[in-house]
């Protein structure tokens, strides 16, 4: 028997549908229309009057949550992280690594790859789409809290070791394009289907352009851990903000980036090329205290995560990031939701499966108030929280 979901409105997020009827069978949407145009079919009903349906959110940069860290790379750690994500409307994500001794990265990639391989049995949990390799191919000058002794020169050979350790599950790689070997590594990543994201970089404008020419198509937590923008030295930020072929993500927590800069970023990248991420660490959803980030002890207080006085990730949730875009910049819900659904899905090349509510797509939805508060998350047509 199909599941039939009704609500006040639905955002695909390309368009609004009033009085929607969503029909789901075998975990996928088989029909989507308005009650104004057709009768409600028979089935198991889920009715959300006065609420809004939207695609499940996708976080392409997250290190942990609920007291657990992605570098633990265990089933129990990912289970807790994934249940935490579902509470905030996230139905799919990229567990993200950090710079560490190569042996530790390889071990984490091995564990994450095994968890991802068996992830289709994770009912009621966010789904790991693949791995985001953040570090070790990053700039010493813009490493943030990544340990300097563990930075590694990029090379196709090094990436190949990581790729095989992950069983081919790396989907995104943050890389500083100015490093020797970066261009060759970006080109090799492209042959593996890995998206190269410019970040943790002190690149000049020309060096950033070289990375883009080699195949980089995204930018990691724009403004943070990047060479500053100057009117005579635009640097990596100039290249990222002006290039319409490049998507870019941002941490919209009001701590990493001032709301006015968030506004400038959204004006530059627009509603089609901006992506919201959390960069969340294990402290997300937990009380203030000391938490683990890939082996670093991070102090968390009043929403700030710091290691030796430097920002070290966040406790942001993706639903909060969407609301912040609405509150800081004045964007409408439909525009803000697109930054966490269709845009990341298109960057990862999975918009035929996720990020858009339409027949044939996965039945991963979030039920929202008009203000963007999560009421329920639905995975495969079933309420997960």
Per-residue pLDDT tens digits for 174-205: 999 999 999 999 999 999 999 999 999 999 99
pLDDT band at 122 (very low <50, low <70, confident <90, very high): low
Cis amide leading into 145 (omega within 30): no
The per-residue pLDDT for 118 is: 85
d(CA 119, CA 379): 13
d(CA 55, CA 52): 10
d(CA 261, CA 251): 11
Domains annotated for the chain, with CATH where assigned, are: 3-54+361-383 (2.30.40.10), 57-348 (3.20.20.140)
DSSP reduced 3-state for 125: coil
Task: Return the DSSP state at 333.
Answer: H
d(CA 60, CA 251): 12
Do the Cβ atoms of 377 and 59 come closer than 8 Å?
Answer: no
Q: What amino acid positions are annotated as catalytic residues? A: 279
Tokens of 328: 């800081």
Q: What percent of the chain has pLDDT over 90?
A: 95
Q: How far, in Å, are 33, 59, 61 from residue 29 at the CA level? A: 11, 22, 27
Tell me the per-residue pLDDT of 193-239, one tens digit each, with 9 for 90 and over: 999 999 999 999 999 999 999 999 999 999 999 999 999 999 999 99
Sign of CA dihedral 296, 300, 305, 309: negative
Phi, psi angle pair for 52, to nearest 5°: -120, 135
Instruction: Report the Cα–Cα distance between both ends of the chain, in Å, rounded.
Output: 22
pLDDT band at 36 (very low <50, low <70, confident <90, very high): confident
Q: Which residues pair with 32 in a beta bridge?
A: 22
The secondary structure element, H or E, covering residue 382 is strand 382-383
d(CA 77, CA 73): 7
- pTM beyond cutoff 0.75: yes
Q: Which residues pair with 45 in a beta bridge?
A: 4
The per-residue pLDDT for 123 is: 76
Q: What is the mean pLDDT of residues 54-72?
A: 98
Q: Which residues pair with 352 in a beta bridge?
A: none
DSSP reduced 3-state for 194: coil
d(CA 377, CA 218): 28
d(CA 119, CA 329): 37
Top mean-pLDDT range of 27-36, 113-122, 317-326: 317-326
d(CA 98, CA 30): 40
The per-residue pLDDT for 301 is: 96
Q: What is the mean pLDDT of residues 135-150?
A: 97
DSSP reduced 3-state for 47: strand
Tell me the per-residue pLDDT of 251-297, one tens digit each, with 9 for 90 and over: 999 999 999 999 999 999 999 999 999 999 999 999 999 999 999 99
The per-residue pLDDT for 121 is: 62
The per-residue pLDDT for 169 is: 98
Do the Cβ atoms of 71 and 109 come closer than 8 Å?
Answer: no
The per-residue pLDDT for 38 is: 74
């Amino acid at each position: 028997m199909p599941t039939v979901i009704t609500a006040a409105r639905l955002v695909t997020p390309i368009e609004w549908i009033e009085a929607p009827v969503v029909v789901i069978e075998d975990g996928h949407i088989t029909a989507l229309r308005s009650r104004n145009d057709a009768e409600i079919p028979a089935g198991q009903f889920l009715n959300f009057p006065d609420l809004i349906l939207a695609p499940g959110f996708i976080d392409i940069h997250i290190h942990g949550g609920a007291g657990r860290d992605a570098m633990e790379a265990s089933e129990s750690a990912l289970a807790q992280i994934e249940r935490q994500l579902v509470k905030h409307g996230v139905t799919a994500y990229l567990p993200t690594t950090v710079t560490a001794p190569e042996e530790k990265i390889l071990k984490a990639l091995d564990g994450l790859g095994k968890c991802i391989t068996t992830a289709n049995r994770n009912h009621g949990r966010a789904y790991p789409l693949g791995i985001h390799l953040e570090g070790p191919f990053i700039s010493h000058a813009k490493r943030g809290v990544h340990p300097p002794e563990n930075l590694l020169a990029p090379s196709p050979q090094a990436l190949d070791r990581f790729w095989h350790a992950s069983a081919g599950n790396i989907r995104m790689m943050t890389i500083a394009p100015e490093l020797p070997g970066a261009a060759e590594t970006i080109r090799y990543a492209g042959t593996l289907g890995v998206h190269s994201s410019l970040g943790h970089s002190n690149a000049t404008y020309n060096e950033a352009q070289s990375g883009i020419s080699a195949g980089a198509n995204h930018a990691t937590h724009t403004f943070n851990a990047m060479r500053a923008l100057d009117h005579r030295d635009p640097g990596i930020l100039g290249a990222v903000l002006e290039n319409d072929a490049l998507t870019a993500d941002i941490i919209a927590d009001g701590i990493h980036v001032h709301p006015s800069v968030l506004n400038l970023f959204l004006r530059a990248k627009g509603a089609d090329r901006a992506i919201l991420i959390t960069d969340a660490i294990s402290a997300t959803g937990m009380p203030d205290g000391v938490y683990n980030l890939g082996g670093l002890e991070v102090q968390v207080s009043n929403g700030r995560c710091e290691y030796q006085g430097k920002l070290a990730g966040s406790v942001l949730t993706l639903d909060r990031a969407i609301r912040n875009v609405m509150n800081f910049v004045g964007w409408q819900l439909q525009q803000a939701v697109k930054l966490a659904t269709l845009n990341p899905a298109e960057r990862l090349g999975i918009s035929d499966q996720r990020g858009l509510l339409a027949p044939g797509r996965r039945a991963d939805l979030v039920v929202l108030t008009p203000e963007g508060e999560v009421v329920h998350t639905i995975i495969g047509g079933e309420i997960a929280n």
